[in-house]
Structure 1
Amino acid sequence: MTTHETWGAPDAEATAVPGRRRRAQPGLPPPRGRIRRPHPARLHRALSDRHGSWLRELAGTYELVWATTWEELANVHIAPAIGLPELPFVRFTGYLPQPGDPRVPLMELFSARKWAPLLRYAAGRPFAWIDDVIPPRLVRGSLWRRDRVLLPIDPGEGLERRHVDRLLARPPRPGAMSRVEYRAAD
């Protein structure tokens, strides 16, 4: 596998299993409930070859790493179905908080449970995180950082071409903060 300075962390449900939650409709309350992981025997119906080709395209710029609660099972059930090789994965199961982990507000403990393990895995390298459950606070906090891209995906739509184009056009770069160039008025 090619060594990349930047790595991408797709969540299996966000990239390859769209349509698991109904979309909000005007005049109706927002959708509720959690996304259920499809049974592996029925998973092939929800997977798309185009997601595999898009992820292979991203692999030219990023080192792909599964960032899913499927963990190693993503390599068993998802990767072969969409034509991906076995990928490394971030381990979330059994992760114990460590000194230096970012603090997460109590109300975000569930939705931000991947954040500390992802940062540990990144070990200071630039990264992109693609997921259907990224707390808005984390997205906002990363907007001015050039070393990370947090890309929330609508679970009803899944990964789309526009997401791939965004990741290819502006991959994260080393250095924490974006530089803003100021020019003196003439």
Structure 2
Amino acid sequence: MGSPVILLDIDGVLNPLERPHRGFRRHRCSPRGVSYRLWLNAGHGRMLLDLAESTGAELTWASYWCEEANQWIAPLVGLPELPFVPIPGFPGPAAGGTLGAWKARHVVAWAAGRPFAWFEDEPDAAGSVAAEPDSGEHLLVWVDPATGLDEGHIERAAEWLARLSG
């Protein structure tokens, strides 16, 4: 078992789907020439960095943004460049499963047995991770995509990660 990982989705987690509460600002970005309007909270970076530091875990993107997250999202939320799980575009249900199952397959393969806490908004991701044969210890912290990440999600991950080392 290696050091734990904190996996971070973007859309629905850092970027809520509905107009969020105080602390969020509207941003525009254009990865690969496609324009997006995002709600992001600069305070999330500090919360996540504190979580990683206090638990000895490695922060990693687990989003379809992949390496683009370092250019377009990290600077806006106060994160440094992070490693990322290479998640290819979802080929659709004909490829075997749902969006959550597709992401879970790539997350579990990338984690390679390391324990991980994953901030994710796909409702079927938890069951999909558990169904992967090589999945190690994990916690899926489900985030309501309408409201996004909050302190309660961070606390839940912190408690679970602390139990791993204790």
TM-score range, shorter chain: 0.7 to 0.9
Q: CA offset at residue 136 of structure 1? A: 6.2
Which is richer in helix?
Answer: 2
- Matching residue of 1:63: 58
- Whether contact under 8 Å (1:134, 1:152) holds in the other structure is yes
The match for 1:128 among 117, 120, 123 is 117
SS at 2:139's partner residue? Answer: strand
Gaps of 5+ in 1: 23-37, 97-104, 175-186
The match for 1:54 among 13, 23, 47 is 47
Report Cα offsets for 1:99-118 as digits up to 9, x if no partner: xxxxxx95x43231111111
- State the 4+ residue runs in structure 1 displaced beyond 4 angstroms: 41-45, 139-142
- Matching residue of 2:7: 9
Q: CA separation in 1, counterparts of 2:11 and 2:69?
A: 10
Q: Structure 1 109/43 Cα, relative in aligned 2: closer, same or farther at 3 Å?
A: closer
What amino acid does structure 2 have at the position aligned with 1:162? G
- Whether contact under 8 Å (1:7, 1:65) holds in the other structure is yes
Residues 27-176 of structure 1: pairs in structure 2 closer than 5 A: 39-40=28-29, 46-60=39-53, 61=55, 62-93=57-88, 106=96, 108-135=97-124, 138=127, 141=130, 147-171=137-161, 173=164
Q: CA offset at residue 173 of structure 1? A: 3.1
Coordinate RMSD, CA, aligned: 3.3
Q: CA offset at residue 169 of structure 1? A: 1.3
- Matching residue of 1:180: none
Q: TM-score, normalised by structure 1?
A: 0.66
Report Cα offsets for 1:94-133 as digits up to 9, x if no partner: 699xxxxxxxx95x43231111111111111111111111
Q: CA separation in 2, counterparts of 1:57 and 1:137?
A: 25
Aligned length in residues: 144
Q: TM-score, normalised by structure 2?
A: 0.73
Q: CA separation in 2, counterparts of 1:139 and 1:115?
A: 6
Q: CA offset at residue 167 of structure 1? A: 0.8
Which one has the largest radius of gyration? 1
Q: Structure 1 86/80 Cα, relative in aligned 2: closer, same or farther at 3 Å?
A: same
- Matching residue of 2:24: none
Which is richer in strand?
Answer: 2
